[in-house]
Structure 1
Amino acid sequence: MVNTTAVTIMGIDFVNETKEKFLTEYVYPKLTHNQKCFIVTANPEIVMKTRESNAFKKLVKQANYVVPDGVGIVYASKFKKQLIKERIPGYDLMRDLLAKADQESYSCYFLGAKEHVNEKVVEQIKQKYPNITIAGHHHGYISMDDNSIADKIASSHPDLIFVALGSPRQEEWITTHMDKFNKGLFMGVGGSFDVIAGEVKRAPDAWINLNLEWLYRLLKQPFRWKRILKVLEFMARIYFKKE
């Protein structure tokens, strides 16, 4: 991580700024100057993956910025007495970046999700952000070492590359192919494409404001229960083992 204060949790350095300051003082200037930038949006589940896999941890630590996406990260910072100023949800960060891209007429590439979802995302982006140039888009059923897709994306010279392959595949793809690009903001966005496409409904604001978005997701998608166990293990290690 560079050029920002940080809070370290389980060996991962998290951005400790408000979303607004993070964007205006760190991210937007990189876009303005065509500097490459890699952002990881990390929740407790991702932090646990870095604990269990040194290879994945190395990928995450290559990021310019790791933002605290998940209320569990904020709670952990409180316990460690290194309070993170604000949770920065990846979906909200992506929306802000799209708004900036629309304002500045930047070009964006959308990689990931099922083919019909990917197409819906592009349709929605065109409608809501008409000034964005669509550099291209491709579904997420790709091989990590398929250089032809990465080369094709790089040749379109996008300003922002949103990668929705799920973690850790999206971080692996970015770190594997980022060197092929001469500019671009790279960000793994997980399931954000599904939300934009209307395939998955995001929690209502009331749930989000109460920090219960995780519970809403669990009620709507019971198959996520194993992920919740990882969050519980994360909190237990923070509170009882003081990791």
Structure 2
Amino acid sequence: MLNFKEVLGYHFVDNTMDELVSEVHSRIAVSEKTFIVTANPEIITYAQSNPFYDEIIKNSDYITPDGIGIVIASKMLGRPLRERLAGFDLMSNLLELSNKEHYRIYLLGTKPDIIDLSASNIKKAFPNIEIVGFHHGYFQSDEKIIKEIQEKQPDLVFVGLGFPKQEKWISDNLPHFAKGVFIGVGGCLNIWAGVSKRAPKLMVNLNLEWLYRLVKEPSRSKRMLAIPLFLSRVFRQ
């Protein structure tokens, strides 16, 4: 069983990565449909200003603290979370689990000429994984994707459409499926494809991954404005 702590009205998983992966493993074992949101300050700030997205986030099965800002906020509010559960690390751990258990994987997102690289590199890293399908994120209709997931019955579906699109897609389409753990993974598919790089391990360990991403992608500066807004709301609370 996982533990939870409330931060700014959202109930975050308050466990270690190993405990979270074990919980996902147990849900896959009984084919229990699961919706996981990997939430950082940008996602929470957006949800607080958009009721439709707020409802989607709160109706998910698990919200994980993907972003050191969430962990800092929890400490400021006197409800300290045990650790940051980064989305890329969660995906990597679940891929490793799938490699051991021969779980079936479906990938959805990124550009048409990139998603096949994501699938190929994941397969190279985890030879025992069965990638039963993948589709780029530039689609006009859900029908083909829904039908393929229904037919292939994957155990894990990684959706990299960026927020809020990926969470909305999961929320809208989850009723169509009989099983599967669905996780919004943002830009993780680009990292697996090799077109984006994750911050060096030292910066990750120092919780400076956000700074690395900002330097590498200056276009993210507008999105980063969500962080001071998020912190101001924490101070007010």
TM-score by structure 1 length? 0.95
Cα RMSD for the two superposed structures: 1.1
Q: For the Cα contact (< 8 Å) 2:71–2:84, is it kept in 1?
A: yes
Shift of 1:209: 1.0
Find out whether 1:59 has 2:56 as its counterpart.
Answer: yes
- Per the alignment, residue 238 of structure 1 pairs with 234
Q: 1:201 aligns with which of 193, 197, 203?
A: 197
Q: For the Cα contact (< 8 Å) 2:109–2:159, is it kept in 1?
A: yes
Find out whether 1:213 has 2:209 as its counterpart.
Answer: yes
Residue 81 of structure 1 aligns to a residue in which SS?
coil
Find out whether 1:80 has 2:42 as its counterpart.
Answer: no
Find out whether 1:21 has 2:45 as its counterpart.
Answer: no
Output the CA distance in 1 between the equivalents of 2:193 and 2:226. 27
Give the alignment of 1:1-243 within 5 angstroms: 3-24=1-22, 26-143=23-140, 146-239=142-235, 241-242=236-237
Output the CA distance in 2 between the equivalents of 1:55 and 1:167. 13
Residue 163 of structure 2 aligns to a residue in which SS?
coil
User: Per-residue displacement from partner, 1:149-168 (whole Å, max 9, x unpaired)?
Assistant: 21222211111101010001
Shift of 1:105: 0.6
Shift of 1:73: 0.2
Matched AA of 1:217: R
Shift of 1:90: 0.2
TM-score by structure 2 length? 0.97
* Structure 1: segments with no counterpart, 5+ residues: none
* Structure 2: segments with no counterpart, 5+ residues: none
Percent identity (aligned): 41
Flag as ranges the 4+ runs of structure 1 deviating above 3 A: none
Residue 84 of structure 2 aligns to a residue in which SS?
coil
Shift of 1:142: 1.7
Output the CA distance in 1 between the equivalents of 2:212 and 2:144. 39
Matched length: 237
Output the CA distance in 1 between the equivalents of 2:126 and 2:20. 22
Matched AA of 1:27: V
Residue 116 of structure 1 aligns to a residue in which SS?
coil
User: Per-residue displacement from partner, 1:18-54 (whole Å, max 9, x unpaired)?
Assistant: 1111222x21100111111111000000001110011
